[in-house]
Structure 1
Amino acid sequence: MMRVAVLVRDGVLPMELGIVHQLFGQAVAAGGGAPLYEVVTCAPEPGPVRTDADFTVLVEHGPEALATAGTVIVPASHEQDERSARLGGPVAAALEAIAPGTRIASICTGAFVLAAAGLLEGRRATTHWRSCARFRELFPGVDLDPDVLYTEDGPVLTSAGEAAGIDLCLHMIRSDHGAAVAGEVARRTVVPPHREGGQAQFVPRPVAEPGASSTGAARAWALGRLDRPLTLRELAARESMSVRTFTRRFREEVGMSPGRWLARQRVERARWLLEETDLPVDRVAAEAGFGTGASLRQHLRAAVGVSPTAYRTVFRGPSAARARGVSGGPGSAAGAREVPGAPVGPGGV
């Protein structure tokens, strides 16, 4: 098991602490096997730690827990984060216990801690959009992106608000163990399995106004038909809208164009098939709606930086000997679910 250490400070947000335990704690090996992570909470000094609610948490572990962690996560503390570009003595000493090469992540304004420790200098990072002006004032040497859900720059990751911490944790689980494990964690938690880091922190109208038509039925319909060309006209017809109205409403509700959204679903479908089946690359391309293996290779490389063969090797090993069939995966009629994720397939959008 990989040890995940959560470093909390007075003023910690309980939701952010709970997110880490909930998500990593539910990650198990395929088939309901052994837990994949051990999650421990630690503080610069063991003992009671105030939250920003009306209760405290009793933390048994001190900085020694950081020394043996494969991943360290720093949630926000609204009491401390935006005060100064310098760390308090106990926090600075705690961070020194982290072994070189350890993956380090922050949630929300926890990015202030990483920046004050020098871990973000020259790196790309994000934090909650309301704190970006203060962050730039304190840390001008950080490449701050105020619009995205999360960033990954080498072994250092940052996320925006509390809910974006869910996306970040699922991203790390997926990077460690693949889409199937992360997807099962998401299902148990009843959250979207994948929102990519580059997605906007918020969109003009994230939820349909009362009485307004939604595009959700069209999205659900499309997810069960990713293997065939789909046109904007078809999608708009599912909601009895004109193409122009549908496109505008889709952008308002999802934060991206129908074509970009659909392309991402196809990449997610292809990734699932590469991880969970022994289908040849050309068949994976057809099932995901890319048409040819060459098209799949182009789009997968653009999305995750590797070829289909390399991706399968990473998550399944060189032999890729498991034969599991294709029913029930993301984007199939049996397993359709909304999984935002990269580029367009041939034909239609």
Structure 2
Amino acid sequence: MFQALIIHQDDANQQVCELGNISEDQLPEGDVLIAVDYSTLNYKDALAITGKGRIVRSYPMIPGIDLVGQVIDSASERFSTGDQVLLNGFGVGEKHWGGLAERARLKSDWLIPLPQGMTAQQAMMIGTAGYTAMLSVMALQKQGVTPEAGEILVTGANGGVGSYAIRILSRLGYQVVASTGRMSEKDYLISLGATDIIDRESLSQAGKPLQKERWAGVIDCVGSHTLANACATTQYGGVVTACGLAQGMDFPASVAPFILRGVSLIGIDSVMRPLADRIEAWQALYDILQAEDYQSIAVEISLSEAEETAYKLLEGKVRGRVLVKLAKDSSN
């Protein structure tokens, strides 16, 4: 038996989340069994745990869209017992039992090797948030946005994606402007490498289709009016990446920035990303980030603290990344 955070429905069809014990034979199908060292608590996990979003597709469900751990049984040619592997996305924690448990059985096609030199703890300090941030930065780079092009706007800056986006861009020499609703966290954002901080209110209301040009690139974690205004204030030929919807799924914009200024809008999907892209992004994260970067962005909690922390995350009371330790004796 092992511990897991389990979401189920009670007799009144109300969602309940509780810490419990399950056995390996209860785990869903998969060709790799993993002893989980660490998982994380993402925005999507918080929605699932609290029931405030339609994330869970069937019950019972173990949330956790991220995990890292050691293979303890494998029927896959790609992985052997003892291999360190990590996972992000592929519907895990939504349709397939996820990482907030001490064991997980998964399909090997969803897994990649832990980058050589990176610890399990560091991998989940990054998690889907840092991995998504890296995909966003790579999109800007592949579209030719260089540090010399001008300022890069990062919205939702205090969140996990925003925090890592600022740090990665700063490490690469970009000038980063952070947009946040928590101006009290200004010192934190500056410590990550932001050169300017703006209040999210300047972007979160309805605005004109075209506004004064400022940004060479944008990493938007918010959506809705914020994304529309980011596009409207992007320089001619600039690039906007969209990876989040904290403000909403709507996009109340016009085509003006795209046909009059040649602005490009690129969607960033992290869930179903091909393995080659995943491996490239994780290797880039290892190459760019320095040891102190992980500790400055992440906080570690136990599995028993996950539910309470999920509510705090949705209330905007958590900054950066939340690391969940599963292995009782993990030294990674």
TM-score w.r.t. structure 1 length? 0.28
Q: Which has the higher contact order (CA 8 A, sep 6+)?
A: 2
TM-score w.r.t. structure 2 length? 0.29
Q: Which has the larger radius of gyration?
A: 1
Structure with the bigger percentage of helix: 1
Structure with the bigger percentage of strand: 2
